[in-house]
């Protein structure tokens, strides 16, 4: 691809962004789709300045990551209803409507799950009560899933459970919940502390589906344990790829080549392992 006067610019804004896999994923997609576009990483604490820059320079779209996902909301021209409910934006589209915010994390988790199972009416234990748990919780609730939150700190777990109108249990009591699906949303098990697992082995039953949103490593300790117990497992890479595919669709109106994206990100993860 030749970068020229027509090249469209996209990026990710966050602090830090040094380990982000979004540039590899999106540049692969732009190139595979024959688009004259590039995607860069912008490491800044100045989210207001970033938005002014987007408008002034005509940057077409931005992924938003830690610590800006909530702080960006009041600065945008408009915010999608689901992102408003979740209280976090991870995608900005810059077009004739100004800067509009969306949350594709929720969509990514949903697609990763629905690729493998029918979720309506099932009982799901979400472990963790941070931004990712919130995004997943709201979209699952909309799909008729019976939720329960387990979290290390009671106050944060209870607050999310109240918002979702569902029960809360402390981590030590997670085994008492007869969940058909467990979704692990904390950083436990993430590289370099990848020997850790937040779910005791005896909680994992063979009829369960277990999803981990950690994607480095792709197979976390939790997923290895779940697999050996006979559970169906869903790795975090699926959610990451599908949230990226939805960003691409919002920016370009095109369907993303999901298999190509997955291969590109897997290659980088395997190289760094
Ligand atoms: P994100 O927005 O990416 O979901 P976050 O808002 O920092 O991340 O939330 C992280 C979640 O993981 C929280 O629920 C946190 O539990 P606390 O509410 O007790 O802080 C949980 N978490 C982080 N590290 C953990 C650990 N070592 N053990 C158990 N839970 C942990």
Ligand 1 near 129 CB (within 6 A): yes
Per-residue pLDDT band at 153 (split at 50, 70, 90)? very high
DSSP string, 92-149: EEEETTEEEEE-HHHHHHHHHHHTT---TT-EEEEE--SHHHHHHHHHHHHTT-EEEE
Residues 15-30 have pLDDT tens digits of 999 999 999 999 999 9
- The single-letter DSSP state of residue 176 is G
Q: How many CB atoms lie within 10 A of CB 62?
A: 31
Distance 211 CA to ligand 1 centre (A): 16
- The domains found in the chain, sorted by start residue, are 8-102+238-272 (3.40.50.10860), 107-234 (3.40.50.720)
Distance 130 CA to ligand 1 centre (A): 6
Residues 202-248 have pLDDT tens digits of 999 999 999 999 999 999 999 999 999 999 999 999 999 999 999 99
**pTM surpassing 0.75?**
yes
CB 106 within 8 A of CB 134: no
* CA-nearest residue, atom 26 of ligand 1: 188
- Please state, in angstroms and rounded to a whole number, the distance separating the CA atoms of residues 106 and 247: 12
CA-based nearest residue to 21, from 193, 215, 213: 215
- Mean of per-residue pLDDT scores for the chain: 96
Closest ligand 1 atom to Cα of 127: 14
- Point out the residues that are catalytic: 69
Which pairing describes strands 8-14 and 91-95: parallel, antiparallel, or unpaired?
A: unpaired
CB 12 within 8 A of CB 62: yes
């Amino acid at each position: 691809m030749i970068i020229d006067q027509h090249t469209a610019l996209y990026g990710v804004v966050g602090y830090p962004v040094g380990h982000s896999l979004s540039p590899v994923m999106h540049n692969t997609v732009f190139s595979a789709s024959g688009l004259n576009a590039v995607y860069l990483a912008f490491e800044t604490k100045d989210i207001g300045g970033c938005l002014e820059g987007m408008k002034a320079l005509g940057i077409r779209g931005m992924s938003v990551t830690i610590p800006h996902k909530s702080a960006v909301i009041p600065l945008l021209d408009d915010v999608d209803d689901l992102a408003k409910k979740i209280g976090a934006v991870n995608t900005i589209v810059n077009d004739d409507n100004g800067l509009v915010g969306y949350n594709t994390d929720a969509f990514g988790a949903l697609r990763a799950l629905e690729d493998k199972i029918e979720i309506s009416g099932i009982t799901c234990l979400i472990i963790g009560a941070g931004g990712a748990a919130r995004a997943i919780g709201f979209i699952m609730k909309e799909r008729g899933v019976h939720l329960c939150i387990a979290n290390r700190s009671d106050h944060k777990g209870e607050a999310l459970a109240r918002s979702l109108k569902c029960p809360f249990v402390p981590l030590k009591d997670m085994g008492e919940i007869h969940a058909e699906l467990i979704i692990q949303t904390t950083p436990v098990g993430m590289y370099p502390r990848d020997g850790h697992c937040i779910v005791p082995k005896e909680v994992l039953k063979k009829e369960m589906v277990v999803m981990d949103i950690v994607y480095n490593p792709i197979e976390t300790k939790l997923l290895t344990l779940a697999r050996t117990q006979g559970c169906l497992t869903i790795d975090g890479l699926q959610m990451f790829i599908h949230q990226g595919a939805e960003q691409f669709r919002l920016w370009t109106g095109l369907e993303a080549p999901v298999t190509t994206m997955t291969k590109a990100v897997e290659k980088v993860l395997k190289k760094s392992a």
